[in-house]
Each structure stands twice: as C-alpha cells, then as structure tokens.
C-alpha cells in the first residue's frame, strides 16, 4: 500500500517533468534523458564524486558542530533557569540572522577554506537544534525521574535510562531538520566562496547557462539526500521508536 | 516495623514563611501489616510516605523504619514507555550487578504474580490503565521489598478495574506477607483493604484516629461488617471537619 503510493508519487513527478520539457525549450527545462546523460558524464569523469565528497565532508562536520553546539545550549537552557535567561537572546539573534551573513563573515575571517564553511554551517544551524532540545527537556516527564529516585537509582542511571531516552526523539528530529539546513547553507557558502563542491558546480554551470548541468547537479544532490533519509534516518528512527509505532493513534474515539 | 514519633514537617515557602505540613504525627505499623493512611486530598499523606521512604527529611521527631528495601507504587503507573513490560519490571534490579537473564527471570516471575503472564514483551502503551498499574506493582515487588508503599494506586482507574485490583492486591499481600502502607482518600477502599486505618486530618496533618478493621480475609464487597465500619468512619470524618 505504502510502497505503491511512494512509487506513484515519484513516477508522477518524473512525468510532470517530462511534459514540461516538451512544452519548454531544452535551455529552460531540459528533459530527463538529457539531464541523466549529463549526470552520467559527471559520474564517468569522476567530477561528481569529487565535488559530492567535498560537500558531504563540509555538511558532515558542519552537522557534527551543529548538533554539539545545539545539544550543549539546549541542555543548559533546559536544566538551568539562569542559563535559559542568559542564552535566550543569543539563540534569538542566531535564529534571526540570515545564513548568508554567517557565510560572508566566516569567509572573511577564516579565508576561503573548509574550516570557514564548517563554522558558518554550525553557527547558522545550531540555534534551531538548541531550541528543539530545550523544549524537549522542558516537556520531559519529571514524575519518571522521581520514580527513579524512589527506586534509589543512581544519578547516572537516571540520566542514561530515564532522561536520555525521553530526549532521543527530539535529538533525532532536530538532526533531520538540521541536515536539511546544513545542506542549504553549505551550497550557499560554496557558491560565494569555494572552488569545489556541489554549490560551486551549480554556480559554474549557471555562468555557462547550461540548464541540463544545473539540473544534473540538483538531481544528484536530491538522490543523495533521499539515500541518507531512507537508508540511515528512517531505519534508525523506526528502531528507536518501535514502542510508539506499534500503537495506532486513536484519532476517532 | 515502622514507627513515627512526634514527627513534624515544615516547608520553607518562597515568601520566607514556614508552612507546617505535618504536626505531631505518631503511629506504629507492625511487620506484615496492611495499614492505610486515610484522609482528604492534599492533607500530607504522601509526605508521610516520602518520609518513610527517606525521599524527604522531617523537621523534628523520630522515624524508625526496619528494613531499607522499599517498593513504591504511585497514582500513575510511571512506566518507561520505550521499554517492554519485562524490562520495566526489571528496572529497579539494574543497580545491582546481577546478570541480565537472572533479572528477566525474576521480572517474569513477578509479572505472573500480578496476573500478566503472556504480556512480557508488550510495551506499556499497548496495555490498559489497569494492566499498566499491575506492571507498576510487579516493579515494586521485584526487589523483594521490606515495605511496600502505595500512593493512591487505584484512584485513576474505573471502579470495576479498581475492585478487581484490590482483591488481587490482598491475594498478593497474603502470598508475600509484605508490610503495606496504603494511602487513599476513599473510605470504602481503606475499609476493604486494611487491618488498621490511620485517619489523617487536614493541614497541618495529625493522626486524628486509629481504627482496626477486625474482619477476616478474603473479604467480600457488600459485607455488612465492612459497611458498618464505613458508616462509623464517615461519622468520624464529619466530626473531624466540624472541629476545625
């Protein structure tokens, strides 16, 4: 049932693309075959792997930095009232500033290198993660903690067995969301200041007005995102939230 | 044995004033006895349980508790929804370094005692409220406690489920011989379950009266002797409220 719908949704997307490509000229909407051909050329020449690797490298470390900062800020704000008051304005500023501002500042400060890209990604994506963890801790069931105390569990055991499992769904959700933000910021940084990566290639082909190559790189990007979502995030999430999946949500009582 | 002598408990309020919750609480509970603390909601009954469990400190007086292994059952089941029923019951055992298989075997044994065999691998959200409370009782018993403290464990359940669980609790108590301290605001529940009832007054709480229920187990709902005790307790309650 689900698989059929999923296949149908993808087929309909490709069909819509095909129809549009017949309506418009190839310089505006190139057809699926021209794009696949361009993609195949990129793969054969090794270009696809090189630039994809560069982008994945930056996104990967950017995501690690994002999660580390986000969890640190979120935990501090969730557990301490003082930290909450102190850090709230930081997070608000971080959330409000456009990612492009961080990108420009980091490129000017650190130069046109991977480090600048990673810092820019971490700085712009971590406030959203921080807020998610912060709310997760605030919404935690404290009665379960007092249950742990009543059964004389150690502080470490309470954190590992009662607090962390309640936070895990929030961390996972924040991570998926953060991955999307990190990709977007990374391509922006690559576009304005890098000489490698998917964002750089998009900019390069944009300069040469090659629509089929712009589409080819976008499609590659999408395919990798899908792979990460369905081969990594979905299975991990399904495993970790098995206890919830088995119970249907009773929308109509 | 549990013995409290002239126990007082005060909390410091945010405005600096002292709020006296318990005033001169004195009572004794013998080994293996089923006792109830009966009183209106919010009168400080739960505070007494927390003092017995050493989860809170009293301001003055003496508290003597024989045995340091204490099982606790709360008003809500307070289960870890991401663990199976068996792993929930085994949770209090995890602080000792026993092997995992031994812990599971013990958990399964107590699940059987509370009538949940066959549900070992279920998750809490797949069970009804009454069954979840049975899991909580098994979790309290699995450590083989010297004392079982129960804080209004059946007040969140419908009357039919609660009645069934009360009968089962009596069976479990007679099988295991635990000392049970049961907090409730329901007169009929206290009378049906207990050998001794300690009536707790409004804040600051004192023990208004001690009543023994001299009716042999197993008791039946609708037993006239129980009904008479219930009626006289109701009179005591009215008298207690008019005094204040």
CA dist list (Å): A19 to A32, A36, A131, B123: 10, 16, 43, 49
Q: Which of A151, A153, A165 is facing B82, going by the closest CB pair?
A: A165
**Average pLDDT, stretch B196-203?**
89
Do B220 and B106 belong to one domain?
Answer: no
- Of B112, B129, B145, the residue that ends a domain is B145
In-domain check, residue A175: yes
Handedness of CA B165, B170, B176, B180 (dihedral sign): positive
In-domain check, residue B15: no
Do B155 and B222 belong to one domain?
Answer: yes
**What does chain B come to in residues?**
244
Contacting residues of B for A247, CB less than 8 Å apart: 123, 125-126
In-domain check, residue B2: no
**Contact of B135 with B87, CB cutoff 8 Å:** no
Domain range enclosing A128: 31-238
Does the pLDDT at position A2 exceed 80?
A: no
As beta bridge partners, residue B179 has: B147
A152 → chain B, closest CA residue: B92
Domain containing residue B195: CATH number: 3.40.50.300
pLDDT at A247: 57
Please provide the average confidence, as pLDDT, over all residues in chain B.
90
Q: Convert the pLDDT of each residue in A208-236 to its tens digit.
A: 988 889 999 999 988 988 898 889 888 88
How far apart are the C-alpha atoms of A87 and A83, rounded to whole Å? 6
Q: Could you tell me the two tokens for A139?
A: 């919404």
pLDDT at A248: 55
As beta bridge partners, residue B207 has: B200
Q: Convert the pLDDT of each residue in A191-213 to its tens digit.
A: 998 999 999 999 999 999 888 89
ipTM attached to this prediction: 0.86
How far apart are the C-alpha atoms of A50 and A217, rounded to whole Å? 12
pLDDT at A54: 93
Does the pLDDT at position A241 exceed 90?
A: no
pLDDT at B138: 94
Do B203 and B138 belong to one domain?
Answer: no
Do B130 and B158 belong to one domain?
Answer: no
**Average pLDDT, stretch A178-200?**
91
Domain range enclosing B130: 79-145
In-domain check, residue A41: yes
Residue carrying the six token digits 């307070």: B78
A243 → chain B, closest CA residue: B82
**Average pLDDT, stretch B68-79?**
92
In-domain check, residue A136: yes
Total domain count, chain A: 1
pLDDT at B196: 95
**Average pLDDT, stretch B10-26?**
87
Confidence at A253, pLDDT banded by 50, 70, 90: very low
CB contact under 8 A, A244 and B81: yes
Domain containing residue A161: CATH number: 1.10.3720.10
pLDDT at A155: 87
Confidence at B243, pLDDT banded by 50, 70, 90: low
DSSP for residue B76:
S
Alpha helices by DSSP H, listed for chain A, are: 2-23, 32-45, 47-79, 81-96, 99-110, 114-138, 142-150, 155-158, 164-193, 198-207, 211-228, 234-240, 242-245
CB contact under 8 A, A243 and B143: no
- Among residues B94, B71, B88, B198, the alpha carbon closest in space to that of B146 is found at B71
- Of B105, B124, B145, the residue that ends a domain is B145
The answer, for B95 touching chain A at a CB cutoff of 8 Å, is: yes
- Among residues B138, B130, B108, the alpha carbon closest in space to that of B121 is found at B108
φ, ψ of residue B150 to 5 degrees: the values are -130, 120
CB contact under 8 A, B92 and A153: yes
Q: Which residues 151-210 of B have a C-beta within 8 angstroms of A? A: none
Do B100 and B44 belong to one domain?
Answer: no
- Of B128, B145, B162, the residue that ends a domain is B145
In-domain check, residue B130: yes
Q: Which of B53, B94, B143 is facing A157, going by the closest CB pair?
A: B94
Do B94 and B131 belong to one domain?
Answer: yes
How far apart are the C-alpha atoms of A73 and A174, rounded to whole Å? 13
Q: Convert the pLDDT of each residue in A17-73 to its tens digit.
A: 999 988 998 888 888 888 999 999 999 998 889 999 999 999 999 999 999 999 999
In-domain check, residue A246: no
In-domain check, residue A219: yes
Shortest alpha-carbon distance between residue B82 and chain A (Å): 5
Report for A51-60, A92-101, B16-25: range of highest mean pLDDT: A51-60
Total domain count, chain B: 2
Q: Could you tell me the two tokens for B87?
A: 């792993």
DSSP for residue B216:
P
Interface of A with B (CB under 8 A): 143-144, 146-147, 149-154, 157, 161-162, 165, 241-244, 246-247
In-domain check, residue A42: yes
In-domain check, residue B74: no
Interface A–B counts its CB contacts (< 8 A) at 53
**Average pLDDT, stretch A121-138?**
91
A151 → chain B, closest CA residue: B92
DSSP string over B102-117: HHHHHHHHHHHHTT-T
pLDDT at A40: 92
Do B234 and B151 belong to one domain?
Answer: yes
Q: Which of B55, B94, B124 is facing A149, going by the closest CB pair?
A: B55
Please provide the average confidence, as pLDDT, over all residues in chain A.
88
pLDDT at A245: 61
Q: Convert the pLDDT of each residue in B118-136 to its tens digit.
A: 999 999 999 999 999 999 9
Interface test with A, best of B81, B93, B135, B153 (most A CBs within 10 A): B81
Do B101 and B140 belong to one domain?
Answer: yes
In-domain check, residue B111: yes
pLDDT at A249: 56
């Amino acid at each position: 049932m689900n698989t059929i719908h999923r296949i149908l949704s993808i087929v309909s997307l490709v069909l819509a693309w095909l129809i549009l490509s017949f309506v418009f000229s190839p310089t505006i909407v190139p057809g699926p075959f021209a794009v696949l051909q361009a993609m195949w050329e990129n793969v054969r020449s090794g270009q696809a792997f090189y630039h994809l690797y560069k982008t994945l490298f930056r996104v990967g470390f950017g995501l690690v930095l994002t999660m580390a900062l986000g969890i640190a800020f979120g935990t501090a704000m969730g557990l301490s009232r003082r930290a909450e008051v102190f850090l709230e304005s930081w997070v608000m500023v971080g959330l409000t500033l456009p990612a492009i501002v961080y990108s420009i500042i980091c490129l000017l400060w650190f130069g046109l290198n991977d480090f600048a890209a990673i810092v820019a990604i971490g700085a712009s994506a971590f406030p959203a993660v921080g807020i998610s963890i912060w709310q997760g801790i605030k919404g935690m069931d404290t009665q379960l903690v007092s249950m742990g105390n009543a059964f004389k569990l150690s502080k470490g055991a309470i954190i590992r067995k009662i607090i962390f499992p309640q936070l895990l769904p929030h961390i996972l959700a924040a991570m998926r969301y953060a991955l999307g933000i990190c990709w977007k910021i990374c391509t922006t940084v690559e576009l304005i200041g890098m000489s490698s990566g998917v964002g750089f290639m998009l900019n390069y082909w944009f300069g040469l007005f090659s629509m089929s190559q712009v589409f080819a790189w976008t499609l590659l990007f999408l395919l990798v995102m899908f792979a990460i979502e369905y081969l990594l995030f979905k299975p991990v999430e399904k495993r970790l939230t098995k206890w919830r999946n088995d119970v249907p949500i009773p929308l109509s009582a | 044995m549990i013995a409290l002598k002239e126990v007082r408990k005060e909390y410091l309020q945010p405005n600096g004033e002292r709020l006296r919750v318990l005033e001169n609480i004195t009572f004794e509970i013998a080994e293996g006895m089923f006792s109830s603390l009966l009183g209106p909601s919010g009168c400080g009954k739960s505070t007494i349980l927390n003092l017995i469990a050493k989860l809170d400190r009293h301001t003055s007086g003496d508290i003597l508790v024989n045995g340091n292994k204490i099982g606790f059952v709360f008003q809500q089941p307070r289960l870890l929804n991401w663990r199976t029923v068996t792993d929930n019951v085994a949770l209090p055992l995890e602080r000792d370094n026993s092997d995992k298989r031994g812990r599971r075997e013990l958990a399964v044994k107590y699940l059987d005692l509370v009538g949940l065999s066959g549900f070992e691998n279920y998750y809490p959200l797949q069970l009804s409220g009454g069954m979840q409370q049975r899991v909580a009782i098994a979790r309290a018993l699995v450590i083989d406690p010297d004392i079982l403290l129960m804080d209004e464990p059946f007040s969140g359940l419908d009357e039919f489920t609660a009645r069934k669980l009360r009968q089962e609790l009596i069976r479990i108590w007679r099988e295991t011989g635990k000392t049970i301290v049961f907090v409730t605001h329901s007169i009929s529940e206290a009378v049906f379950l207990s050998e001794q009832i300690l009536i707790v007054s409004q804040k600051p709480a004192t023990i208004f009266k001690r009543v023994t229920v001299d009716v042999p187990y197993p008791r039946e709902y609708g037993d006239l002797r129980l009904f008479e005790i219930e009626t006289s307790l109701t009179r005591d309650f009215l008298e207690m409220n008019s005094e204040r």
